[in-house]
Every structure is written in C-alpha cells, then in structure tokens.
C-alpha cells in the first residue's frame, strides 16, 4: 500500500487506486497519515475533523468514520489504541515521510557525491503531485505541517541546484532557481544561489541585477538588509568582474620567447636537425654538458 498526501489524497493498494469518498473520511486518513505508525488520540481526531464544533455524539461520529475507513483499508491497517487510533503502516508508505527522508539523505550526500545527491533529491521532488495536504486545506491542524513540507520542498530544490552548480550544470541551475525566486522573491538562500549560478554561467550583469532586485525587495517589504550569505554572493561577483579577464588558453600558448641580446652564429646543422625531429615528434630534448649552449640553441630553434 502507498498513501500520498503531497497533493490530493491518493491511496494505491496492490497497484490499484482505492477511492476514499467523502471530505471527512479523506480528512481522517490524512490526519492519521501525518502520524503514520503512531497513535493519535480521539480528541485530536475530533478536533481535526470538526474544528472544535460541538457534536451531539462526537465519539460515535468518529467511530462511524473509523469503521468506514477500516472497510476500505482493513482493520489491521486502522488499529485501535488506548484512547485513539493508529495507521499501522511503515512510515515510508506515506509519501510525505518518504520525501523527508530522501531530502535528508540527499543533503548528506552533497559534496561527497553530488551526482548521487542530485538523483536522490530528484526522486524526492518527483513525489509531489500538488500542494501538501490538499484535502485538509483550511484545517487548523494542517497549516503547520503543510508549511513545513513546503519549506522542505524549496530546500530540496535549492540543494539540487547546489549540486548542479558543483557538477557544472549552470544553465539547469539558473532555470530552476529563476522559477523558485519568481515564486518566492524574498527567499534569500535561493537568491544567493541564483546569483552564483548566473555568474558561473557567464552572466555577471544579470547576477548583479538579481542582487539589486532582492536588496530593494527586502528593504521595501521587510525593512531589513540582505543577509551575510547574500552579501557575500554579491561581493564574489564584484570581485570577479573587477579582476582582469584570464587570457584564453590559446593566447597563453602564444607567449613570446625571451629576446636575445646578441647575434647567433653557426649551429645551422643543429637547428635543421631539431626542426626535422620536431616535425616527427611532439617532444625533442637537447642534451649536453653544462655551458654547451643548449638553452640558447633551443630558444633560437623555437
């Protein structure tokens, strides 16, 4: 069995979808899935499903929903406990718990094996099918866990982009981080990574423009300055743009040989021999006793 709460509620058993009908029945399963493997008190379930509204017989109403859920999933899956009920499944049966563990493993792998970290984080992000706890939207109990899962999703995106940067996949990182920052314009970690990605992709002007955008947004909307991490990303681009450009490798290979202060007479046979050997071999080594003129001869041949 697999239970999905990263999006609309989804239950798959033996490869077949299990239809869970009714808003409160779906809400009951979502609430139990959040604490898969642990007991949830009857009071907590009643509060989650009816939001503190007084019912004529709250316990009977809850038991009626529990009975319906047992008929769908089995009484061994929805187990009674002292004062409550438990969804008796391993935590990795629920996609939210599996997602959290994959993100943890992916972040542990960063730096040690960025390619493996990227694969693990991608597997985690592919579990999302829509907003977390979509069937409990508006329920008070769902606000905090939904926000935590969403923040962890953004962290996973940032961690995958960091792996892309280390792997030299600059354009992929720019694309993903641009979308993230557009949706979350005040998220400084994503903005700092986007600045780094733009600079690494050879777009320093866009990187500096991105810094100015978030600096102004933070000042206007929150009245705060950029974090040290964001300022450091900005300074890194400034330092790089201030440095003279490194010559292209081909230009470095065309550096002139040392100038000679005296004329060079004779040795024509040796120079001809060196030229013949260079035409046939990549490396020619001149040997001889000290002071024989090996350096001057090689310079003239060069």
pLDDT on residue 249:
45
The H or E element that residue 3 is part of is strand 2-4
Give the mean model confidence (pLDDT) for residues 276-288: 87
Assess whether pLDDT exceeds 70 at residue 64. Answer: yes
8 A C-beta contact, residue 241 and residue 277: no
Predicted TM-score (pTM) of the model is: 0.76
Give the mean model confidence (pLDDT) for residues 91-119: 95
pLDDT band at 258 (very low <50, low <70, confident <90, very high): low
**What is d(CA 273, CA 206) in angstroms, rounded to the nearest whole number?**
55
Give the long-range contacts of residues 295-298, CB within 8 A, separation 24 or more. 296/260, 296/264, 297/267, 297/270, 297/271, 298/274
- Bridge partners, residue 94, by sequence: 3
Contacting residues for 59 by C-beta, under 8 A, at least 6 apart: 42, 46
pLDDT in tens, 77-86: 999 999 899 9
Q: Angle at Cα 155 formed by Cα 151 and Cα 159, nearest 5°? A: 170
pLDDT band at 248 (very low <50, low <70, confident <90, very high): very low
Give the mean model confidence (pLDDT) for residues 236-253: 66
**What is d(CA 66, CA 53) in angstroms, rounded to the nearest whole number?**
19
């Amino acid at each position: 069995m697999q239970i999905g709460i990263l999006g609309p509620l989804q239950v798959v058993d033996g490869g077949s979808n299990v239809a869970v009908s009714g808003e409160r029945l779906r809400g009951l399963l979502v609430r139990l899935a959040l604490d898969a493997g642990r007991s949830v008190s009857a009071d907590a379930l009643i509060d989650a499903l009816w939001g503190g509204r007084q019912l004529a017989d709250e316990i009977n109403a809850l038991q009626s929903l529990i009975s319906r859920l047992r008929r769908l999933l089995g009484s061994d899956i929805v187990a009674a406990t002292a004062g409550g009920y438990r969804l008796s499944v391993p935590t990795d049966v629920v996609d939210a718990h599996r997602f959290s563990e994959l993100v943890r493993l992916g972040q542990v792998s960063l730096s040690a094996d960025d390619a493996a970290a990227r694969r693990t984080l991608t597997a985690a992000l592919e579990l999302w099918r829509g907003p977390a706890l979509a069937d409990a939207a508006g329920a008070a109990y769902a606000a905090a866990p939904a926000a935590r899962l969403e923040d962890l999703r953004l962290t996973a995106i940032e961690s995958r982009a960091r792996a892309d940067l280390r792997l030299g996949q600059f354009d992929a990182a720019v694309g993903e981080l641009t979308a993230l920052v557009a949706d979350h314009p005040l998220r400084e970690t994503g903005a700092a990574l986007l600045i780094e990605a733009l600079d690494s992709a050879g777009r320093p002007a866009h990187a500096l423009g991105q810094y100015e955008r978030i600096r102004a947004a933070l000042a206007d909307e929150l009245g705060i300055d950029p974090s040290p991490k964001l300022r450091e990303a900005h300074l890194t681009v400034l330092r790089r743009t201030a440095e003279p450009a490194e010559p292209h490798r081909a230009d470095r290979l065309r550096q002139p040989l040392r100038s000679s202060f005296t004329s060079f007479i004779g040795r024509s046979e040796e120079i001809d021999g060196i030229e013949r050997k260079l035409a046939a071999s990549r490396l020619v080594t001149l040997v001889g006793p000290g002071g024989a003129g090996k350096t001057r001869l090689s310079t003239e041949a060069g």
